[in-house]
Chains A and B, each alone.
Chain A
Amino acid sequence: MNTKYQNSQFKELITQKRVLICCGSGGVGKTTTSAALALFAATQGLKTLVLTIDPAKRLANSLGIEEIDYQEREISAAKLKKAGIETQAPLFAMMLDTKHTFDNLIKKYSDNPKKAEEILSNQLYRHLSNMIAGSQEYMAMEKLYEILEERDYDLVVLDTPPSRHALDFLDAPRKMKALIGDSLLKWFLKPSIFVGRASFKLLDRPMRRVFKTLDKVAGFEFLQDLSVLLISTSDLLDGFQERAEKVETLLKDFHTSFLLVASPHPIPISEANFFYQKIKKSNLPFSGFIFNRVRVPNRESLKELSQVSSQAKKEYQKIKNFWNQLAKRDQEELEQFKESLGQKMDALIFKTVPEFEQDIHDLKGLYQLAKLAFG
């Protein structure tokens, strides 16, 4: 293991940064890691919030955020003490529901409630608002921005949705700008055009051709529905865009940093690589990697083994071989990944956390993890 980098790196990280964003593919323990990191920060005297998405039920329960109520919940000192944890500053947790955050955003940027209602009740919007690429991820950032503006946390740890699209929101402002920037598109979206087929006559020939084809491709009614949705949302886009730019500035700030969480298996590693490239390409501040569930070779040698039957000895050895084979695989994966990073790795955190005997689902388990991984 890398001896050059000690756990003190995390102490440094949490004191230097105000926002830590954990990215990674699904099933690698991202939520648990985020919660443990926040807990660690609180034991180091930082008033900390962990913003999480879809935690396992039992973990949510132990953090006291089993209900989605958009509230930051303090984990009481008594509860922490009961789990044997001494925090030096308060710890808060909050669960994000991205679908509703999107609705709230529409309400916020609409001129009046009637208009907001119009959008929210649009059939297409209702079905599709959770499908717009990157919108979920964008909402997480939006909430983060709001919290940093309005609250005085020393540190906020953000757990991102487990998808490749977690960084798509970075393209969102540009995409929107391209869309509304087109004055012709605005004209194109005028409702009068869609009043009836008769209005086709008003179009010049090339435009008429485009329309006819679009109609053929998508269907007239569909276009009409879509145009109504786009018209009602286009006014919002200015406010939206301004905010998106602010969020981008925040993400590139010196006080923000990204961490990648992965596990030592081919797919999570290839996903970590994908994220790493994307983070670099987007010029985002990056601190390093945390590898969870790493199976380490078991080296126990039991003197008492001489007392058991030969069958029992054989079976014990079978388990040991099985486990050590798995461990060897993990070590190989990690070595390969490190090699692929080359010298760049020297400036980065590279933390491996061994697989635990049990799922972590309570504060005690989280604390154990926090001490082991960061303390």
Chain B
Amino acid sequence: MTNFQTFKNSQLWFVTGKGGVGKTTVVAALGLLCAEKGFKTLLVETHGLNHLAKLFEVEEAGYQGKKIRKNLSLLQVTPEKALEEYLLQQVRFKFIYQSLFNNNYVRHFLDAAPGLLELLTIGKIWDLADGTASSRQKSHPHYDLVIVDAPSTGHALSLLTIPKVVDEAVKLGPLKKKAESILNFLQDGDRTKIWMVTLAEDMPANEAIELSKKLHEEVNVHLEAIFVNSMWPQLISEKTFAEFKKLKIKSSLLDFYQSHYEQNQHYLNLLQKKLLHDSLFSLPLLPQKNSNELEIAKALSHELSSLLSE
């Protein structure tokens, strides 16, 4: 079983899942929890999204990162910035770099190089997470743990596959070396944990099953745990149901509740059966007084805290 003891030495958490399953809220909740447990935690967003900044009600964090509360920082990896940084690292002299980066032809060339920007994005994430990469001068503070909010299933998969693709396609040179190191890091189950968020509904559940298969087959990584989000809680007892039934009381509300509840259970069973995973966590649907996402994330982090310390 997964619990805090087994992953306290990990350095990189990658949170994947289909759009609309509440992934960002789960990432925020995990971040809050880890920060509270005393880990210096960095949350990372990619692909130009800034949902986490909105959730935490802070200004955009940017590529340099920003502390948002005790033990918790936020950073946005943009591929263009990652490219700039990579070139600077390789070239070392700023004036050469400038002549290179400001050269239109080179820019177009790099722009058109498929996969390069993706590799640099995951490379930057690896750089942030890998505490042992001390040969280079670190351009950022040390973090105990980096948690990535990976955008959609497809993009997450391409981020995770690209090191393998480059490793296979490129024969030598610095890119190959980089790809190799990243791949080793990703495939090291002690250092890298991959989580998935899904819903107990038709599309998200089936996509989760699919993704888990692909991660295994294409990248040779396995899922640490699956969070089944927004589960309808059991709010009504069998006895009450029987009572309503016996008196033949028709209630659209009860019908609605029942059908959602049953659907949740059905797909939870399906996930259990198909994923054969011993770490399948249900997270409850949380009604809040207002639509404040930070409050929801806080409530969710309490749920996670009790789930993960069992």
* Size category, B interface: 35 or more
Pick the contact of A27: B204, B236, B239 (CB < 8 A). B204
Smallest CB–CB gap between B108 and chain A, Å? 5
Which residue on chain B has the smallest CB distance to residue A181?
B108
Whether A352 is near chain B, meaning CB under 8 Å from some CB there, is no
Check A320 against B111 for contact (C-beta < 8 Å): no
Known: A219-B172, A308-B247. A26 touches B96 (CB 8 A): no
Q: What residues on A are CB-neighbors of B100 within 8 Å?
A: 210, 213-214, 217
Residue B263, interface by CB 8 Å: yes
CB distance from B158 to the nearest CB of A (A): 5
Q: Which of B51, B87, B91, B108 contacts A185 (CB 8 A)?
A: B108
B254 part of interface (Cβ distance < 8 Å): yes
Does B59 touch A at the CB level, under 8 Å? no
Interface of B is mostly: helix
Select the residue from A27, A162, A357 with max chain B CB neighbours within 10 A. Answer: A27
Q: Tell whether A48 is near chain B: CB-to-CB under 8 Å.
A: no
Chain A residues, CB < 8 A from B90: 213, 216-217
Chain A interface helix/strand/loop/mixed: helix
B92-117 interface (Cβ within 8 A of A): 96, 99-100, 103-106, 108-109, 111-116
Question: Judging by beta carbons under 8 Å apart, are B162 and A359 in contact?
Answer: no
**What's the minimum C-beta distance from B237 to chain A, rounded to whole angstroms?**
6
Q: A163-B155, A209-B99, A268-B20 are in contact. List 10 more A-B contacts (CB 8 A).
A: A127-B165, A131-B118, A213-B100, A215-B173, A308-B249, A311-B237, A311-B239, A319-B254, A326-B287, A359-B263
The contact sample of 29 A-B pairs, CB cut-off 8 A, is A26-B19, A124-B115, A124-B169, A127-B169, A129-B114, A163-B19, A182-B105, A185-B109, A209-B96, A210-B106, A213-B90, A214-B106, A216-B90, A217-B91, A218-B174, A219-B175, A222-B166, A222-B173, A225-B169, A267-B24, A267-B51, A300-B252, A308-B243, A308-B247, A316-B253, A318-B235, A325-B287, A332-B290, A357-B260
> Interface of B with A (CB < 8 Å)?
18-21, 24, 47-49, 51, 54-55, 86-87, 90-91, 96, 99-100, 103-106, 108-109, 111-116, 118, 151-152, 154-155, 158, 162, 165-166, 168-176, 201-204, 206, 235-237, 239-240, 243-244, 247, 249, 251-257, 259-260, 263, 285, 287-291, 293
Q: Which residues of A contact B (CB under 8 A)?
A: 25-28, 56-58, 123-124, 127-132, 162-164, 175, 178-179, 182, 184-185, 188, 206, 209-210, 213-222, 225-226, 230, 263, 265-268, 270, 298, 300, 302, 304-305, 307-309, 311-312, 315-316, 318-320, 322-323, 325-326, 329, 332-333, 357-359, 361
